[in-house]
Structure 1
Amino acid sequence: MTSSSPDLDSLRLFLKVAELGSISQTALAVGLSQPSVSRSLRALEENLQTSLFHRTGRGVQLTEVGEQALARARALVDGADQFADDIRDQARAPTGVVTVALLTAYMRDVAPDLFEEVRRRFPGVVLRLLESFSVQHEDWLASGRVDIALVTRYRKPSRDGQEVLAVSDMVVVGNPAIGSGEELMPFRELASVPLVLPAAPNGLRVRMEDVARRVGIRLNVVLEADSIEAQRALISRERCYLLWSQHSVRQAGIDHLFASRRIVEPRLPRYVVMQTTTHHPLSRASREVARILRRLVLAAHGQVVV
């Protein structure tokens, strides 16, 4: 005769006893009698055909099998709780605050459409928008301060949870024209170009310094400026140059104002990545906002989303 599977209430009680290390304290915590807790534990052990605890005069301690069962039981209980929350979410319109961190260019070009569509489709959802650089966005994701963030990468992301939405090559851009007027510029030639770059630990700056060491040159950085608006103002007045992505140049509407050459040998792609926090499970509201944001960013890069 096949034994039935343990029920969730028995597993919850097992977890509480393991947490407190005492049957009597568990009984007080859950509002049951001590004999009831003992009977439930014995029934669970008989069902599993093993001892989960060593009984001592000072309480109980997990056996070796009990230690292994602890993680499995916690995963089952957490999964059941998440299942119930998800189904309840599906049964009602999403509500709550969703915090999104956007890069500066997307704050200008995507935020209005994101706000309009979320308000129209999900009136119970309140957007909270933050703006900074990728390094800060990742800190916010790790701490759970933001639910969704756009970040940039200068190497192809390989970790799970990093969805690449767009790729664009880096160009050197400024006024007047750079070099011979050719469309491409080998990375080595940057040694003679007065550059305005963001300060480390900005991802672009770190990548540029790594490549410069590899090809044996020293970058001619004449100014460090993290602000995109400050960078643009500088190249309008001074003979210095930026490293922007081709998409950023077009997005800012300066492709007809300044000369640009695409960096090659090596090519330097910039990846726009959408990430979600792992600090807490995403609410349905956050998942809906992420879907809208994904479509808007893809559309901004000329990709039609069906």
Structure 2
Amino acid sequence: MNTRAIEQFLKVVELRSVSRAATVLGQSQPALSRALRQLEADIGTELLYRDGRGVRLTDQGERFARWAAEFVDQIDQMRRDLDGEAGGRLRGATIGLLPALSRQLAVPLTRALRDLYPDALLRIVEGSCGHLVEWLADGRLDIAIVFDKPPLRRLNPEPVATQFLHLVGAKSLGKLGSTIPFRELADRPLILSSRPLGNRGELEGIAQRLGIELDVVMEVDSLDSLLKLLEAGEGWSILPAKALQEEIAHYRLQAAELIEPRMDRTLVLVLPVNRVPMPGAAALVRAIKSEIQRIYAVEGRRPRDTGIGWADRAQPMQRGAE
């Protein structure tokens, strides 16, 4: 049982409808239904039942709802007290996201942070990893959410989640299975980012160890341009498919997880160094981390050592996890 599930339950009770609550919470109805079923399993009793006009509380649900409302009030008070101890309430923040992540995270993050900080002015800025780190250093960003790279280690990035990389291309180029060995990339024309960006260096290092040569026919650093080229069948690319699942569907693309070796990318939160934290910074980090992990949790992601398909291959990570 977790705080988020209890808050979701209370929203369903308030609106008397799972579908309306899902819309307000910014998640799918099946995901919310799963969260409610898990909450009932954790408690060990049925809390809600459906009738022709929506959902209603059982007798046990009535009792639990009263306790849950008091519990959430106490949690909110604790957050307010901690914010005050950390230097005051958050008044505003500028959050930097990679373009691929922005497509997946911008809407749910905005909704969650507005609920927590209704008076704060929140801004979301897109840019490459290099640009986001540069903007952190010169004060234009308060926090960045990027994929981890060795140069970032000096900034003490906080791991949040892992996403696995896939070969992505047009269906017209031939059907892919659910996985593809890295060695088979040698036979495919690839459209990749330029060397200073993305995962180009890692890809070339693995190819060298396997004794193969990658056929890079084009370098593109714009995600939108890359997706259009892939749709046109101009080649294949290596992307975190889960973060781009809506785009993959829109551009009629397909994806297969790279294996032998598998490649993953760790999603991290990065804060400015040598700068006094803004009021409410600690609470903001907690909220962002919690929301990102909630997004992964409600979409059914499981640990990386299980054999699951590409649509599920990402999961929350704890700080310090490999």
TM-score after normalising by structure 2: 0.59
Structure 1 stretch 224-233 or stretch 91-100: which is displaced more? 91-100
Q: Is residue 262 of structure 1 aligned with residue 275 of structure 2?
A: no
- Look up the match of 1:138: 133
1:259-298 matched pairs, under 5 angstroms: 259-298=254-293
User: In the alignment, residue 272 of structure 1 is paired with which amino acid?
Assistant: L
1:9-88 matched pairs, under 5 angstroms: none
Tell me, in whole angstroms, the C-alpha distance in 1 between the residues paired with 2:89 and 2:243: 34
Aligned pair partner of 1:188 in 173, 183, 186: 183
Gaps of 5+ in 1: 1-85
Tell me, in whole angstroms, the C-alpha distance in 2 between the residues paired with 1:164 and 1:112: 21
- Look up the match of 2:219: 224
3-state SS of the aligned residue for 2:249?
coil
Structure 1 stretch 102-111 or stretch 200-209: which is displaced more? 102-111
> Alpha-carbon deviations, 1:156-181, whole Å to 9, x = none?
x8667322222122111112366784
Instruction: Give the superposition deviation at 1:236.
Output: 1.1
- Look up the match of 2:202: 207
Tell me, in whole angstroms, the C-alpha distance in 2 between the residues paired with 1:110 and 1:100: 11
- Look up the match of 1:233: 228
**Cα gap change, 1:129/1:260 in structure 2, threshold over 3 Å: closer, same or farther?**
closer
- Look up the match of 1:162: 157
3-state SS of the aligned residue for 2:165?
strand
Instruction: Give the superposition deviation at 1:255.
Output: 9.0
The 8 Å contact of residues 148 and 286 in structure 1, kept in 2 or not, is answered as no
Rg: which structure is higher? 1
Tell me, in whole angstroms, the C-alpha distance in 2 between the residues paired with 1:89 and 1:158: 30
User: In the alignment, residue 146 of structure 2 is paired with which amino acid?
Assistant: V
Identity of aligned residues (%): 27
Tell me, in whole angstroms, the C-alpha distance in 2 between the residues paired with 1:302 and 1:277: 28
Q: Is residue 100 of structure 1 aligned with residue 95 of structure 2?
A: yes
Tell me, in whole angstroms, the C-alpha distance in 2 between the residues paired with 1:88 and 1:179: 54
- Look up the match of 1:112: 107
Instruction: Give the superposition deviation at 1:132.
Output: 0.7
Instruction: Give the superposition deviation at 1:291.
Output: 2.1
3-state SS of the aligned residue for 1:217?
coil
The 8 Å contact of residues 198 and 225 in structure 1, kept in 2 or not, is answered as yes
Tell me, in whole angstroms, the C-alpha distance in 1 between the residues paired with 2:222 and 2:86: 44
Tell me, in whole angstroms, the C-alpha distance in 2 between the residues paired with 1:142 and 1:93: 23
User: In the alignment, residue 160 of structure 2 is paired with which amino acid?
Assistant: L
Tell me, in whole angstroms, the C-alpha distance in 2 between the residues paired with 1:264 and 1:91: 45
3-state SS of the aligned residue for 1:252?
helix
Q: Is residue 173 of structure 1 aligned with residue 168 of structure 2?
A: yes
Tell me, in whole angstroms, the C-alpha distance in 2 between the residues paired with 1:87 and 1:291: 12
- Look up the match of 2:39: none
Tell me, in whole angstroms, the C-alpha distance in 2 between the residues paired with 1:264 and 1:88: 44
3-state SS of the aligned residue for 1:283?
coil
The 8 Å contact of residues 184 and 263 in structure 1, kept in 2 or not, is answered as yes
Instruction: Give the superposition deviation at 1:154.
Output: 6.4
Aligned residue pairs, count: 220
Tell me, in whole angstroms, the C-alpha distance in 1 between the residues paired with 2:298 and 2:143: 21
Root mean square deviation, CA, Å: 3.2
**Cα gap change, 1:187/1:222 in structure 2, threshold over 3 Å: closer, same or farther?**
same
- Look up the match of 1:11: none
**Cα gap change, 1:274/1:213 in structure 2, threshold over 3 Å: closer, same or farther?**
same
User: In the alignment, residue 296 of structure 1 is paired with which amino acid?
Assistant: E
